[in-house]
Structure formats: C-alpha cells, structure tokens
Structure 1
C-alpha cells in the first residue's frame, strides 16, 4: 500500500495535536474556502458548539489511517475525515483537537470525556456496543497475519501452540483469545512496538487489520501478509452511550460525506496504488451503497 508519508516509530501514546491545515468543505461536500458550518441534518451538541472545537481520539501509529508524518503532523485517511467533520461543525477544518489513543485506552478516553468521539480504526462488536454507541460505518477490514518472508506460516491454524504478537484491545487480540486458546499472545500498545517485536523474532506472526499489515509489508520488504481474513467487520466512530445528539450529528456528517463520495475520493488520495485501491473498493461507503454491521457476533471462530 503506497502512502504519502512514513510512519513515525517510538510514538508516545496520549499526545495531542491540532493537526495540519486543510481546506474546508462546501455545502455539497466539495472542497471550498473556509466558510460557515454545514447543515448535516442534525444540530451540533451545545457543549461542543460552545467550545468551538471537536476533540477526536485518533490513531497515531496506524498508517495509512492515522499516523504522525515526517513533519510531526497528524496525517491519514481518518485524520482527513476528522478535518472534514470540523469543517461541517464550525466552517473551519482546523477547529479540531486530535488526541492520540490506542486500542486499550480509546473507550476510557471517551467515557471520561477526554474526547468527544472515537475515530480510531475501531471494528464494531456487540461487546463494544454495550459500552459505547457506534456511528454508521465508514470503512471495513479483517484480521490477517504479518510474518517474515521466509516463514512457513500461511494460515491461522499453523499458529497453534506458538507465540503471536498483537496489540491490546484490538479485534485481532479478541479473536485470538476466543478462537485460538492455545496461542500465547504477546501484547503491545503501539504498532511500532509490535513491528519491532516481530523483527526480533519474539513471535511467529503479528496479527492485525489487513489494511495496516499491507502497508507495513510494503515498507518492510522482509515481511509478507498471509492468512484468510478473520473477524471482518465494519469500522464505526464511537460516542458516549446514550448521547443521542452527538450520534445524530456524527451520522449526519458521515451521510453527507457518503453522498458526495468523499470516502472513496479521499481513500484514493491516501492509497495511490491502483491495484490496492481495487482490493478495497468495497470497503468504503459510496453513494447508493453503504456498509452494515453484522447482526450477530463478529468474532466467529
């Protein structure tokens, strides 16, 4: 997967940034000069409006979705979506505070009101939906394996009895816990730590979302992605349980982006390899074609 910047390693979780400068969105979802807020069909919650900024929890070590680029700014597909939401809310794409979160702390950051919403590569699961409310989906992915090029491992079933690297709170870790009880997990909070552990042979494989692993394999020629996708499900943004006003506004903003085909156009800007674009063409909502959460458990063994 080709992206416009290189992932920063050894990133400290919990940092905050206002991000880079982005053009605002016009009323039709197109790029326009900074202007007034955009009506998305639901009012912005008064608490957020009075503050004058959105506070969004994002990944900072997860290219091409959310990472810190070489100029030390937040970048990626999800970051661009966050800026677009700030444009809708305040007419200013930089009316935004981006807070770095990890798989293990993103929900606690939300419930403790350190952030207004989570936009951090979060797969929908019924278990998570008992704690937070999910927006409509804006992307989808599944879990695969990153292994050394010379590894004989080609599938999950070959991991039995082995040590596998993953990240705390990630869907990959949840699936391994439920479906491969004889696997010993070595857990980290950051992608850079997990990648270093794999390169140091501290595990037979690194289990994580396929989109991230494809990017890591492209940047690390000694690694490859293997295995059939497990626990594949859409990603949603998370808001506090019962916060109906925030959920309605977020869903309205996402519907506005879908109608203008913003997700697909932005994904193609972030991921420029046409062959990879074709692989993920059905992973984003587009006009007249949305994504839907599964009715049952997403962690099927």
Structure 2
C-alpha cells in the first residue's frame, strides 16, 4: 500500500503557525539539486538516544537513525560518507529544518498533526509505541514477586511513568487498575525499580531498548500499546518535492528489500 502524503495535511494550529510566520522570509532550505551540487547531505540527529542515535566508546555516532542518514547520502549523492551529522536537541529538531540549517532531520521525530503544519514527513521508517521494562529476577530472588511476562501481569501493579508524558493516558486506558507513579527522569524510574517500589516503567519502546542495552539486568515486555510513526523531517514546499520523493522512494525500497528490517533487528528494536 502506498504512502499517502495527504494524510499529514491537517487543521491549522495557531501557536505553531505563529512560530512558522516568525521565521525570517530570507531563510530557505536547500533543494535537491543544491544538495547534489554541494556534495554533502546535512542531517540533524540525536547523539544521546541509544539505539537510534548515540556516541560509542570512541565518540563516533552510531544507531539506526545514523545508518538511515548514511544510506540516504548514498542514495542521493552516491557515497555513504557524503553526510554531515549534526547533533540536535529535541526542542530544535524541527526548527533546524525550518531555518535551513540542515537538509533533513532524522532524530526520533513522531509525525503529528500540529507538526505537519510546519514541515513534511516521509513515510515511516519505524513504528514506535508504548512499552514496559521490568527488572529481571536474579537467581537468588523470590521469582514469584517478578512474575511479569505479559501485559495482564501488570493489571494491578505499580508502574512508573514520566510526569506529563503522553504515555500516561495510554497506560491508564489499557491498565485502569494499575497504580501509576510519576517520576521526573529515567534515573528516578530506575531508582524505584531498584528499590522494588515500582514493578515496571512505561515509556516508548525505542527509549526502553536503549535502557536494556545500558542495563542488561532489565528486560522489555513483548507489547506495544500505541503506534507512533517515526519519520524523516523534510522542508515544506513544492520546491522540495524532488527531495521528498527521493527520500520516500528510498525508504520504500529499504522496506521491500528487508534492509530496514535488518537494521532495526541489529539495533535490538522490537
């Protein structure tokens, strides 16, 4: 089934439109032919979000989204190293595209109605969603206390969630009798799990995958309670149609060939 670009044309959101109108008129992102003439693709990425984009022990950028950025450089410019990777904060992921500071953003950006007023989104390269992580029992532990293997096992348990996160209504809907405890950070959530005052932590599966990589004594439950499409952020406007089409065609080929699924599995993402 083809990707329908019209899916991301939505109603006006006044606050975000105001932000867009505040952008200087002289700012313009590079079109495909300009990128090709330059010989470099400039991509905003994360450098602290394992396994999507992070720095390894040698300081090199690694992860699924880094692989995608390099593969896009190969698609557009013929060389995987013809890419400039620019780490970006979450708050700047859209602005750097709008302001023409980068050509694309590949930094765990979820396609939403409000964001679609400012930028275009590629077809999804990964479907994220709410999941859970629990501490695996040690050999000496009372394993009955840790008998959490599926969603129903959390029905009346205590679950840590980041305060104010979109995870909260999702968990409440699926587990109305669970006790939710708000935390300010992932470290605070881990502290509750270590102390045994929380049985699980709920967050996006991509984030929890990085958690398990860093703390192998934890494990993820094989569930996904919501669907969040992670997409490449592309400048908005008819002049960027060629770039938009080339990015979408590339992702479609990767999905069909199995390359994308292989990279997702390599990085341990569910």
Same-fold status (TM-score > 0.5): yes
**1:9 maps to what in 2?**
none
Task: Indicate the SS of the match to 1:200.
Answer: helix
**2:236 maps to what in 1?**
241
**2:76 maps to what in 1?**
89
Larger radius of gyration: 2
Cα drift, residue 200 of structure 1: 3.4
With 210-219 and 59-68 compared, the bigger mean Cα shift is at: 210-219
Match of 1:216 among 191, 211, 220: 211
Runs of 5+ unmatched residues, structure 1: 1-43, 189-193, 281-301
Match of 1:51 among 13, 22, 38: 38
Indicate if the aligned counterparts of 2:161 and 2:202 stay in contact, CA closer than 8 A: yes
Q: How does 1:42-191 map to 2 (within 5 A)?
A: 45-148=32-135, 164-165=161-162, 173-176=165-168, 186=183
Cα drift, residue 89 of structure 1: 1.7
**1:296 maps to what in 2?**
none
More helix by share: 2
What RMSD in Å do the two structures reach over aligned CA positions? 3.5
Match of 2:253 among 232, 252, 256: 256
Indicate if the aligned counterparts of 2:212 and 2:218 stay in contact, CA closer than 8 A: yes
Cα drift, residue 219 of structure 1: 3.8
Question: How many residues are treated as equivalent by the alignment?
Answer: 218
Give the TM-score taking structure 1 as reference length.
Answer: 0.59
> What is the alpha-carbon distance in structure 1 between the residues aligned to residue 170 and residue 258 of structure 2?
37
> What is the alpha-carbon distance in structure 2 between the residues aligned to residue 178 and residue 257 of structure 1?
31
Structure-2 change in CA distance of 1:220 and 1:87 (3 Å): same
Give the TM-score taking structure 2 as reference length.
Answer: 0.65
**1:15 maps to what in 2?**
none
Runs of 5+ unmatched residues, structure 2: 1-30, 137-144, 173-178
